[in-house]
Amino acid sequence: MSTLIAIRETSLSGKGGDYSPAKEKAANRGVYGGRSPLLRRLRLFLGGAKYKLLLLFCLLTSLCLLSSKISSFMGWNPHYPASVSSPSRGGYTVLINTWKRNSLLKQSVAHYASCQGTDAIHVVWSENDPPSYKLRDYLKKVVLKKSQTAHKPNFRFDLNKEDNLNNRFKPIEDLRTDAIFSVDDDVIIPCRTLDFAFTVWQTAPLTMVGFVPRMHWLNEEKNGVVHYRYGGWWSVWWAGTYSMVLSKAAFFHKKYLELYTYKMPSSIQDYVSRKRNCEDIAMSLLVANATGAPPIWVKGKIYEIGSSGISSLNGHSDKRNKCLDDFVSLYGTMPLVSTNMKAEDARHAWFW
C-alpha cells in the first residue's frame, strides 16, 4: 500500500514517469471528485449565490436611482422643509360639503375627527334652515370623543344664505393650516391613507393632491374652435393618464379659496350657479392655470357611503363635456396638464 501511495505522489509531482499538465489536471479532478462530490457542489452553489447577491444589489441600486429621478421629474421633493409635524403648517383642515344628509354627516365628522392630522373640521352648510342645536351639540361631542390627540380639532359650521355649489370654496377666516382637505359628506378616506396623502401634498403644496382622478382629451376642431371631452374613471384606467383630481376628496392650499372667489372669472361662478354642476372642474382649471403643473393622484382606499349622486343621472357626461368646453373658452386656453404618475404608499402595497 505504501508503495502505491509513493508512486501516485511521484507521478502527480512529475518526478518520475511521464508528466504533463493534462495528466495533473485529470489526476486532481479524480482525487477531489472521488473524495467529496458534495463539497464540490457546495462550492459551486456558493459561487453562484455571490453572483446572485451582486446582481440583486445592482438591481436595487438602479431602482433607487430611478425613483429619485421620477420624483425630481414630478416636482416632488421628499426633503422639502415642511413635514407632517411642521409647526408652520400644522395639520390640515377638513372641509365637508353636505346637503340634507345628517346621518352621513355624523359618520363623516366622527371619522375625520379621529385622524391625527386633522386640525379643524368645517362643515359647509347651504340649507335654508340652520343646523339644529341638537345636531351642533352632537357633532361637537363626537369630535371631542373621537379625537386621538391631546389637541382637539376645532369644529364649526360655515353657514350660507343660499344653496350654491360655489359655497364650498368660500374663503374661511382664522384658518390655522395651509392645507385644506375638501371632501363630500358621503366620502370616507381611511386616516392612514389620508395622512399619507397629506405628506404627498406637503412636497408639492401648490398643486392639488387627491383620490379621484379624471382626464380630458381633444374631441374635435371645428372652424378653428377646439372642443374637449371629459373622461371619467374608466377613461383614466384605459388611457393610463389623468389631468384632474376631483374636489370631492382632495388637498389644496387655502389660497385657492381666495382665488376661486375673487380672482377666477365671475362668469365661471355664474355658470356653476346656473348649472348646479362642475365646481370641481372649475377648481381643477384654476389650480392648473396658476401652477402650470399636473395634479397628483394618490392611489388608496376610498369608501362612498351614500347613495348614487348626480354622476349617475342621465346626461351627466354630456353636461360635464359642455362645462369643460365652456370653461376653456372663458380661459382662452386649456390650462390642464396631463400626467401618468401616481403616489402610493409602498408600505401597504402588494407590489412595489
Q: In DSSP terms, which residues pair with 157 in a beta bridge? A: 123
For the chain, the 3-state helix, strand and coil shares in percent, each to the nearest 5, are 50, 20, 35
Phi, psi of 194 (to 5 degrees): -65, -45
Rounded to 5°, angle at Cα 246 from 335 and 213: 85
Residue with cell 347613495: 307
Query: Collapsing DSSP states into helix, strand and coil, what is residue 33?
Result: helix
**What whole-number distance in Å separates Cα of residue 237 and Cα of residue 261?**
33
Q: Which of 280, 318, 326, 345 is catalytic?
A: 280
Q: In DSSP terms, which residues pair with 342 in a beta bridge? A: 297
- To the query of whether residue 178 is one of the catalytic residues in this protein, the response is no
H runs (alpha helix) in 99-175? 102-113, 133-146
Q: Name every residue whose Cβ is closer than 8 Å to that of residue 306 and which is 6 or more positions away in sequence.
A: 101, 104, 184, 185, 186
Q: In DSSP terms, which residues pair with 304 in a beta bridge? A: 187
Query: Collapsing DSSP states into helix, strand and coil, what is residue 198?
Result: helix
Query: Collapsing DSSP states into helix, strand and coil, what is residue 8?
Result: helix
Query: Collapsing DSSP states into helix, strand and coil, what is residue 209?
Result: strand
Classify residue 130 by its DSSP letter.
P
Query: Per the structure block, which three cell numbers stand in for 207?
Result: 398643486
Q: What letter represents residue 9's amino acid? A: E
Q: Name every residue whose Cβ is closer than 8 Å to that of residue 231 and which is 6 or more positions away in sequence.
A: 214, 215, 216, 217, 239
Phi, psi of 17 (to 5 degrees): 75, 175
Q: Name every residue whose Cβ is closer than 8 Å to that of residue 65 and which is 6 or more positions away in sequence.
A: none
Phi, psi of 148 (to 5 degrees): -100, 5
Active-site positions? 280
